[in-house]
Amino acid sequence: MEQINLIILFFLLLSIVLGYLFKANIGIFAIVLCFIAAYIYGLKPSEIVKLWGLDLFFILVSITYFYGFVINNGTLNNLASKAVYGVRNYPWSIPIVLYIVVVIFVGIGPGHYAGFAFMSPLVLYIANKIKMNKILAAIIIYSGSCAGGFNPFTLGGRVTYNLIENLGFTPEQSAIMQLNLGKNMFIAHTLIFILGYVLLKGYKVVYSSNIDKPEKLNSIQIKTILIVTFVFSLVMVPSIYLSFQPENLLMNKMTIFFNPTFVSFLGIILAIVFKIGDETQAFKNIPWNLIFMIGALTMLIALGKSTGAMQIISNFLSAQGGNDSSWIYYLLGVLSSSMSAFASSMGVVMPTFFPIVPSLSVLEPSLAFSIIATFATFTGYSSFSSGGALVLAGTQDEQERKYLFIRLLILPILLVLFGFLLLFLGVIN
């Protein structure tokens, strides 16, 4: 039994290393290695396939498919452009408005990956117009996306909720812990933006009269806003009402019935019926690469959980804590941020480290989940990760690109140290 546990842990690490070395989806290697480990353990092929998390699969597909309509018809970008154009005469406020716009854009549902992909052109375009520091632009894009990307209705929120619930926590406990995770993520990244705004002198950006006036909302975009509002309300209104009156049976039933997966598919039908976009183009918005990665790694981790492999990691962390369990929180932060430098935070780091939390009885689970998720996002600013890569891609001048490349390698280290300070002060709690 001990041998199979070590094999699974080795295979988990090997799949990440191979994916990084070959610049390929980690999930490809994880699935093959999962089958090999499962055969050694004695599982049948039909049992191995069942390790794939269908709940998570449907959550990811439904939400991203629905928001594919909203993104592709230009509604969200048009609204974002209007917000920036409205404060063009107050240049000091433009970075603040951009940050708020990114948080809202991501927060209504599309998720932080959509923020990286679809808000970066707008932010970098405005940054060039007003001569804003590109690192501040990176903070607006990346921290704004992370701050808004983990509320209960977003892609990140649903994934983290599902990961927590699958560990044996009740739906109520999972919702509370996920909400706390989203709160900590919002606070940490908003503080990063505030510091960046002050230190990088976001208040001294140059006024520009060249910011183009956005077009008026067309009939399709107006219908889109109404559909998104309706879908959002079906999920959020019962949940908010229930938080004030938890004994209400009707709202309990509505919360169960109007789950985000069902409501997102309902939104897709409304989008098709009211013709707010091309179904095939919206389908292309589904991040199959991410879904495959999460699903495959979940298979390997689920196998490790059943054999007791994840308990080895738990025992290691417990041994490091000694009599003072607070050290384990900092160690979790180091491990999470280190792995995230080479692998996806939501696709790899969270599915890997979340399952060990219940075994660490000395830890408060809600705080542990928050630390894993938040610290995993800190290293996303690296030149080799999504946040840094976006900024480098949007920088035209070669000298400026070299200047930024080095600083974007240093920034994640400073943010991890900043995270330790927030943890020490109790801001992340």
- The answer for 251, left when phi > 0, alpha when psi is -120 to 50, beta otherwise, is alpha
Q: How far is CA 256 from CA 18, 108, 180, 182, 341, in A?
A: 40, 20, 21, 21, 37
Query: What's the sign of the alpha-carbon dihedral 333, 335, 340, 344?
Result: negative
CA distance 100 to 93: 11
> How high is the pLDDT of residue 190?
96
Who has greater pLDDT, 247 or 272? 272
Residue 371 has pLDDT above 90, yes or no: yes
11-31 pLDDT, tens per residue? 888 988 898 788 888 889 999
Rounded percentage of the chain residues whose pLDDT exceeds 70:
88
Cβ-contact 34, 296 below 8 angstroms:
yes
Q: Could you report the per-residue pLDDT of 298-324, keeping only the tens digit for each?
A: 888 888 877 877 667 767 766 665 556
Q: Is the pLDDT of residue 52 over 80?
A: yes
According to the model, what pLDDT value does residue 191 have? 96
What are 164-180's pLDDT values in tens digits? 988 888 888 888 899 99
Quick one: angle between helices 365-378 and 326-340, nearest 10?
Answer: 30
Task: Give the per-residue pLDDT at 123.
Answer: 81
Most confident of 92-106, 185-199, 299-313, 358-372: 185-199
Q: What is the pLDDT of residue 144?
A: 92
pLDDT at 429 (0 to 100): 87
Give whichever of 116-130, 248-262, 355-369, 379-393 has the largest mean pLDDT. 355-369
In this predicted model, what pLDDT tens digit does every residue of 313-362 receive, in sequence order? 767 766 665 556 678 889 889 888 887 776 677 777 888 888 888 877 76
Kindly state the average pLDDT of the residues 276-280: 90
Contacts of 293 (CB under 8 A, 6+ apart): 25, 26, 27, 30, 344, 347, 348
pLDDT digits (tens, 9 = 90+) for 257-272: 887 788 889 999 999 9
The sign of the torsion formed by the CA atoms of 157, 148, 409, 370 equals negative
pLDDT band at 388 (very low <50, low <70, confident <90, very high): low
pLDDT band for position 372 (50/70/90)?
Answer: very high
What's the half-sphere exposure (Cβ side, CA atoms, 13 Å) at 274? 20
Query: What count of residues does the chain have?
Result: 429
Based on the number of CB atoms within 10 Å of its own CB, is 275 exposed (0-12), middle (13-18) or buried (19 or more)? exposed
Q: Which two tokens mark 386?
A: 């999504």
Please report which confidence band the pLDDT of residue 210 belongs to, taking 50, 70 and 90 as the band edges.
low
What is the number of H-type helices and E-type strands within the chain? Answer: 21, 0
Closest CA to 221 of 165, 277, 282, 301: 277
Q: Average pLDDT for residues 85-105, to the nearest whole number?
A: 87
Q: What is the mean pLDDT of residues 122-132?
A: 80
pLDDT at 373: 93
**Residue 176, C-beta contacts closer than 8 angstroms, at least 6 positions apart:** 366
Ranges 40-49, 69-78, 158-167, 339-348, most confident: 158-167
Phi and psi of 324, rounded to 5°? -110, 100
Who wins on pLDDT, 193 or 121? 193
Q: What is the mean pLDDT of the chain?
A: 83
Q: pLDDT at position 127, please?
A: 82
Both tokens of residue 213?
Answer: 């006036």
Q: Would you state the pLDDT for residue 157?
A: 87
